[in-house]
Copies of this chain bind each other. A is one copy, B any other.
Amino acid sequence: MFRSHLVACLALASFVSTAPADEGMWLLNRPPVEALKGKYAFEPSAAWLDHMQKSCVRFETGGSGSIVSANGLVMTNHHVGSDMIEKLSTPERNLMETGFHARTRAEELPCPDLELRLLWSIEDVTERVNSAVGEGMAAADALAARRKMMSAIEAEAQEKTGLYAEVVTLYQGGRYHLYSSKRYTDVRLVFAPEMQIAFFGGDTDNFEYPRFDLDCCFFRIYENGQPLKATHHLKWSANGAADGELTFVFGHPGSTDRLYTVDHLKFMRDAELPYTLRRLWRNEIKMTSFAARSDEHARIASGDVFGIANSRKAQTGVLAGLLDPVIMDRKRADEQALRAAVQANSDQRTAWGDAWHEITEAQETLREFYVRYAALEFRGGALRGDLPRIARTLVRLAAEKAKPSADRLREYRDSELPSVELELFSPAPIYEALEIERLASGLSLMAELLGGDDPAVQAALGGLSPHNRAEQLVKATTLEDVEVRRRVAGGGQPTIDNARDPLLVLIRNLDAEARALRQRYEDEVESVERGAYARIAAAMFAIHGESIYPDATFTLRLAFGPIKGYAEHGAAVAPFTTFAGLYERSELRHAAYPFNLPQRWIDRKDRLELGTPFNFVCTADIIGGNSGSPVVNKAGEVVGLIFDGNVQSLVWDVAYTDAQGRAVAVDSRGMIEALGAVYEADELVNELTAK
């Protein structure tokens, strides 16, 4: 399923050539008017776009959602909400297993650390950002100067509007837009089905089609203790969408790599993805084994297991794409054509001609230290788990807060601190057994990657085996206590310097090298890429005009395309599935996990109109992070809810094609039918379908 894994992917936005078919993740302030008018005779009005924009929310945990009632009801996927659903569970009340339904407002469950953002306005600040760069500045200095200016613009905007402000880098430096958003942190769980029906078919059917998943859940935004009076919200379609009908998807695709240079793609293929998959395979085996050991282990590890397996399948698909000569040949041809056009014009050649080569060199540099950088610096690298993450945040927060906001690591600038603290001081449960398992596996992975005699590995192991060290650290630390975290955070750098907590000490000791690696990445790779891709962008704008969209950046985008089946193994795959198909598939697989059904779906089968559309596919261009995006019709009414792409869509990370690739959604009619007939959630149905 499409859950964004933001932190692990240091994706660089790039560009796509003028889009054929229904390709594109379009900016809302640069909508695909031509394509929609030409192919579908539909012209989105400014009001229509503004309404859609202000009805959509972003889940900071990595997903999309939409406001679907005047009272702040929010629709997203179960697998986007599952992080919260798990945190709200206990051994006695496993909401993943039982589902949840608040029949009254009072029963709605406040989430411990969920933040939603709603994009309120967009402003192009490209010129102002670029004005910070002096003539002949080195790449690293230019990057720093732009960042400083971006922080200043953000601080100024935030001061003026009170909204969360972020300058977003688009077209990898081709454009900079100021996004101002509302933040909501009082969010409560309203309804979630059992994971068994939300994720029916499990990993086996994940990224496959046909599907039969009720992958939805509902939250409610509160403001000042009251349900949000939404200025905009989506209405429910009375009849859903028909085969062939044009649909629109508004959501937050996390990252794509569509116009990486060929050599950059080869770096992904030969270095980045092999590392990532190696880590994911290990983690999946370890977490699956851990979860199998007892019911309680299964409960506390289920989110981790899902997230890892989901990423693994997605990344496997991307790698398969990069190993497909058809795709690489097309990439090579596109690049050669663009470079040839640039070479043919002497001004362009002088201005942009070297950009591709610079990126090639940057990748070669990165190969020298990529694995070490990833292991020591990436979240989810070697020191995996909640406690190492908390320790890292505390260590860095102390150092960064002592600097002016514009000079800090970007994730610690003033505008981000509320989000950092929401996560840092979250009362969400931390499980000792799970932490030990994750840390032990991470420490072993670190040794496998860097070698047992490596100084960082030796420091991390502290003279113990990975498992014994993990046990020692997890048992000795007191960071599972939120009050301890508050005290440490309050004490600033002296508290960190004098810390005796062994986990804090370890993270502090490893931090210098981790920071140095990141600095090297920024100075020698990112800054070079930023400068070079900006020139490639300029070349593309010059040659293709402005009808191109930027790579995904986990910011709001519009995609579109009709509901449409496809052919596979010589047979037609119909665009819609039904409840009848769900029961058939369960029976075919002997109702064995993951094809078993929740008891109430068995008991209430007779109440369901079995022919109701349950899931469908359309050609809209989506990617991880789009999970929970509403699918709407021309009237902007909800006809579905994106929750996945099929296996043929995984390659969309680097190249869109609608030959077979499809976005997968829950049908709006299926949701209403299930909520009514199976869950007797009449008040929820009424709220959704209110005129």
A residues 579-613 near B (Cβ < 8 Å) are 590, 592-593
Q: Does A568 contact B (CB under 8 A)?
A: no
Q: Does A322 contact B (CB under 8 A)?
A: yes
User: Per-residue 0/1 for A454-474: is the Cβ within 8 Å of any B Cβ (1 yes, 0 no)?
Assistant: 000000010111111000000
Say whether, besides A289-B204, A293-B204, A270 and B452 are in contact (CB < 8 Å).
yes
Whether A285 contacts B281 by the Cβ 8 Å rule is yes
Collect the chain B residues with CB atoms within 8 Å of residue A281's CB: 278, 281-282, 284-285
Q: Does A266 contact B (CB under 8 A)?
A: yes
Selected from B284, B323, B325, B467, the residue in CB contact (under 8 A) with A285 is B284
A residues 268-310 near B (Cβ < 8 Å) are 269-270, 273-274, 277-278, 281-282, 284-285, 289, 292-293, 295
Number of this chain's copies in the complex = 2
- Nearest B residue to A297 via CB reads B204
Q: Does A393 contact B (CB under 8 A)?
A: no
Q: Does A451 contact B (CB under 8 A)?
A: yes
Q: How far is the CA of A297 from the CA of B642 in the complex (A)?
A: 30
CB distance from A324 to the nearest CB of B (A): 4
Q: Does A447 contact B (CB under 8 A)?
A: yes
- The number of chain A residues with a CB under 8 A from chain B is 43
- Nearest B residue to A316 via CB reads B444
Collect the chain B residues with CB atoms within 8 Å of residue A273's CB: 448
Collect the chain B residues with CB atoms within 8 Å of residue A269's CB: 447, 451-452
CB distance from A352 to the nearest CB of B (A): 26
Q: How far is the CA of A641 from the CA of B444 in the complex (A)?
A: 34
Whether A323 contacts B466 by the Cβ 8 Å rule is yes
Q: Does A203 contact B (CB under 8 A)?
A: yes
- Nearest B residue to A202 via CB reads B292
Collect the chain B residues with CB atoms within 8 Å of residue A452's CB: 266, 269-270, 322-323
User: Is chain A's binding surface mostly helix, strand, loop or mixed?
Assistant: helix
Say whether, besides A319-B444, A444-B319, A325 and B463 are in contact (CB < 8 Å).
yes
Q: Does A347 contact B (CB under 8 A)?
A: no
Q: Does A453 contact B (CB under 8 A)?
A: yes
Q: How far is the CA of A468 from the CA of B327 in the complex (A)?
A: 13
Collect the chain B residues with CB atoms within 8 Å of residue A635's CB: none
Q: How far is the CA of A202 from the CA of B293 in the complex (A)?
A: 11
Selected from B270, B448, B461, B464, the residue in CB contact (under 8 A) with A277 is B448
Q: Does A337 contact B (CB under 8 A)?
A: no
Whether A465 contacts B325 by the Cβ 8 Å rule is yes
Q: Does A10 contact B (CB under 8 A)?
A: no
Say whether, besides A204-B289, A324-B465, A319 and B284 are in contact (CB < 8 Å).
no
Q: How far is the CA of A323 from the CA of B449 in the complex (A)?
A: 13
Collect the chain B residues with CB atoms within 8 Å of residue A447's CB: 269-270, 323
Collect the chain B residues with CB atoms within 8 Å of residue A289's CB: 203-204
Whether B319 contacts A453 by the Cβ 8 Å rule is no
Q: How far is the CA of A447 from the CA of B266 in the complex (A)?
A: 11
- Nearest B residue to A464 via CB reads B325
Say whether, besides A292-B204, A323-B444, A465-B323, A453 and B278 are in contact (CB < 8 Å).
no
CB distance from A224 to the nearest CB of B (A): 46
Q: How far is the CA of A278 from the CA of B451 in the complex (A)?
A: 15
Collect the chain B residues with CB atoms within 8 Å of residue A33's CB: none
Q: Does A9 contact B (CB under 8 A)?
A: no
Q: Does A312 contact B (CB under 8 A)?
A: yes
CB distance from A294 to the nearest CB of B (A): 8
- Nearest B residue to A282 via CB reads B281
Say whether, besides A277-B282, A593-B592, A320 and B204 are in contact (CB < 8 Å).
no
Collect the chain B residues with CB atoms within 8 Å of residue A282's CB: 277, 281
Collect the chain B residues with CB atoms within 8 Å of residue A463's CB: 325
A residues 150-202 near B (Cβ < 8 Å) are 202
CB distance from A456 to the nearest CB of B (A): 14
Selected from B292, B295, B324, B449, the residue in CB contact (under 8 A) with A203 is B292
Collect the chain B residues with CB atoms within 8 Å of residue A319's CB: 444, 448
Q: How far is the CA of A452 from the CA of B273 in the complex (A)?
A: 12
Interface centre among A269, A281, A293, A447 (most CB of B within 10 A): A281
Whether A270 contacts B322 by the Cβ 8 Å rule is no
Q: How far is the CA of A460 from the CA of B34 in the complex (A)?
A: 44
Whether B464 contacts A320 by the Cβ 8 Å rule is no
Q: Please, could you name 14 A-B residue pairs with CB atoms under 8 Å apart, sorted by A?
A: A204-B289, A204-B292, A204-B293, A269-B452, A270-B453, A278-B281, A281-B281, A281-B282, A295-B590, A319-B444, A322-B452, A325-B461, A325-B463, A325-B464
Counting from the closest, the 10 A-B pairs by CB-CB distance are A281-B281, A324-B465, A274-B448, A204-B292, A270-B451, A269-B452, A278-B278, A281-B285, A325-B463, A323-B465
Not counting A273-B448, A281-B282, a sample of 13 additional A-B residue pairs whose C-beta atoms are within 8 angstroms of each other reads A204-B289, A266-B452, A270-B453, A274-B449, A278-B281, A285-B312, A295-B590, A319-B448, A320-B466, A323-B452, A324-B464, A325-B461, A592-B593
